[in-house]
Amino acid sequence: MKNFKRILSIALVLSMLLLSSGCSLNFFSTDSLLKPPALTGKSGEVQEAFNKLMTGKTFQLKTPVKGEYKSAFVLYDLDNDSEEEALVFYTDSSTDTSVRIAVLDCVKNTWILINDIKGSGSGVYDVSFPDLNGDHSPEIVVAWTLFDNKLTKLLTIYCVETINNNHFTIETLANEYFNSKAYIDLNSNGVSDLILVYLDDAGEVQNSYFRAFSLDNTNTIVKFSELLLDSSITSVSAINHDFITQSDAEYTRVFIDCLKSDTSIFTEVISWNLTSSKAARVIQDPTKTTLRSSKLLTQDIDNDANFEIPVTTKFFSDKKESSVVISGVVYNFTMLEWLNLTGDKSDEELRTFYNPVHSYLLSFPWGDNVTVKFDKIENQTNFCIWNASTNEIEDILFSIKFIEKQAVTKEANEFYDDNFILESTNEGDFVFEITPYGESFGITDEMIKSTFIMI
């Protein structure tokens, strides 16, 4: 009987703990932990002041998931007084689930609340401080994650307005939907513009938009360019840009690497037309011209300060040797031709071999005279003579081997010579070896070392 009463008492205590926790069978939900670890320095002062402001309220801090600022407490000189102000991102369950921004300023050594702004999303994607009108004062751009949409985001542009007694307030200028963004001086006026790619799937057919915004001297957001992109874009992997000189004037090119599917990518290119003062698509059918199966991004492959686009080209090889299966994953070896566009300084096209197993590129000037064969046992790629008349792989010219750090043996040590190490990583080393056939073929150490690129 005593044991029964003891068990009953324990059960009642456990039941009370479960009920008071507010979480079904989850004693320590991270969302229920309201007090974050104590910060130090100025961030600690802001945290203490904010906690006092929120006394009696149930709040949860919200941390940006991307970008430079990865804290719910963001310090930045908003009003150009050489002192940092603070933005605090949080939700208050007593109001609603929207993220709010508390803006704090330090006045006479005391942090006070300047603004408390209701945001436009359920989370903070990133925070940035561009100067969109060239006045050397930052705007505040907050990108929000939305309640019911994982791909589309909403950004809000805020400006800092100085008021009496050197105090300031935050004003909302605009809200824009987007999927990917960048800050680029598109129209070459010396001021960064806000570049957005937006995939509008509200209709029966998706419309993909390129949009460019600037901020004029009256703090008005102006959309000065909008173009329709290819409708097959499912997401954007990267936005890059370079500058081209034409007729002694410099103009901007924007490269947008777009996913079409899980296994294919293509590149949209936008340039600023100096004559018409308008943006235009450089490639009218990018899915035909730049589509590739490898998810390689546009990059400056030849170090000439201009970007090139990787395009899959013919790979001369035995079909059974052009791919390999490792741990159930199929890796396809490909040959890439890097596309130069009008205005590029490059003199000729550049071809590279792409190894998707170890994620590296190697310049490939040998046309259909050389091919590759991957050795899974040795974890190395053998570059071999390709007999185009018989479609057969012949002598090995050189090999690039990846040696995992934890798998170094006496045999592997034979590869370790300072002259033969291509690249060292945390996981292991890339080493190479040239055979006598390769030496006769004209392969040199410098030829391999100077064109090996880790992705």
Please write the tens of the pLDDT for every residue from 220-279: 999 999 999 999 999 999 999 999 887 777 889 999 999 999 889 999 999 998 888 899
pLDDT at 166 over 70: no
Q: Is the pLDDT of residue 19 over 50?
A: no
pLDDT of residue 237: 95
Q: Are 48 and 40 in contact (CB under 8 A)?
A: no
Q: Indicate the pLDDT class of residue 10, thresholds 50, 70 and 90.
A: very low
Give the distance from CA 10 to its chain's centroid: 52
In one letter, which amino acid is 97?
T
Using CA atoms, how far apart are residues 300 and 108, in angstroms rounded to an integer? 51
Q: Is the pLDDT of residue 424 over 60?
A: yes
User: Would you state the pLDDT for residue 20?
Assistant: 41
Q: Which amino acid is at 161?
A: E
254 close to 184: Cβ distance less than 8 angstroms: yes
- Residue of 86, 90, 92, 74 whose CA lies nearest to 111: 86
* In contact, 191 and 107? CB cutoff 8 Å: no
pLDDT tens digits, 84-96: 999 999 999 887 8
Residue 156, both tokens = 């809000």
Looking at residue 23, what is its pLDDT? Answer: 31
Query: How high does pLDDT run on average in the chain?
Result: 86
pLDDT at position 165:
64
The reported pLDDT for the residue numbered 249 is: 76
Which pLDDT belongs to residue 16?
A: 43
Contacts 24+ apart (CB under 8 A), 214-222: 214/132, 214/133, 214/187, 215/132, 215/133, 215/139, 215/157, 215/159, 215/173, 216/133, 217/133, 217/135, 219/133, 219/159, 219/171, 219/173, 220/173, 221/157, 221/173, 221/174
Rounded mean pLDDT, 40-51: 85
- State the pLDDT confidence band at 167, using cuts at 50, 70 and 90: confident
Determine the pLDDT at residue 391: 87
Q: Which of 6-15, 22-31, 157-166 has the weakest average pLDDT?
A: 22-31
Residue 354 is predicted with a pLDDT of 93
213 touches 193 (CB < 8 A)? yes
Give the pLDDT mean for 75-79.
94
What is the 8-class DSSP label of residue 30? G
Question: What does the alpha-carbon distance between residue 291 and residue 196 come to, in Å, rounded to a whole number?
Answer: 22
Listed in sequence order, the residues at least 6 apart from 35 whose beta carbon sits closer than 8 Å to its beta carbon are 51
Global pTM reads 0.83
| Residue 207: per-residue pLDDT | 96
Q: Tell me the pLDDT band of 5, cut-offs 50, 70 and 90.
A: very low
With a cut of 50, say whether residue 76 has pLDDT above it.
yes
Predicted pLDDT at 148: 74
Q: Tell me the pLDDT band of 43, cut-offs 50, 70 and 90.
A: confident
- Percent of the chain scoring above 70 in pLDDT: 86
- Residue 372's pLDDT is 92
pLDDT, residue 345, reads 53
Which one-letter DSSP state was computed for residue 298? P
Q: In this model, does residue 22 exceed pLDDT 60? A: no
Identify the residue with better confidence: 414 or 435: 435
Helix or strand (DSSP H, E) at 390: none
Residues 133 and 219: their CA atoms lie apart, in Å, by 8
Give helix then strand counts, H and E, for the chain: 6, 29
Q: Contacts for 282-289 with beta carbons within 8 Å, 24 or more apart? A: 282/253, 282/341, 282/342, 283/341, 286/230, 286/258, 287/230, 287/232, 287/260, 289/339
Would you state the pLDDT for residue 294? 78
Note the pLDDT of residue 143: 98
**What is the per-residue pLDDT for 33?**
39
Quick one: pLDDT at residue 39? 65
- Give the whole-number percent of the chain exceeding pLDDT 90: 58
pLDDT category at 197 given cuts 50, 70, 90 is very high
Exposure class string for 364-386: b at 16+ Cβ within 10 A, else e: bebeeebbbbbeeeebbbbbbbb
pLDDT digits (tens, 9 = 90+) for 310-353: 998 888 887 777 888 988 888 889 899 998 886 555 556 689 99
> pLDDT band at residue 176, thresholds of 50, 70 and 90?
very high
Has residue 446 got a pLDDT over 60? Answer: yes
- With vertex at residue 312, the alpha carbon angle to CA 367 and CA 316, rounded to the nearest 5 degrees, is 35
**Mean pLDDT throughout 172-193?**
96
Between 204 and 238, where is the model more confident? Answer: 238
Is residue 218 within 8 Å of 199, Cβ to Cβ? no
The average pLDDT across 286-302 equals 90
pLDDT digits (tens, 9 = 90+) for 377-419: 989 999 999 998 998 999 999 999 998 887 666 555 666 665 6
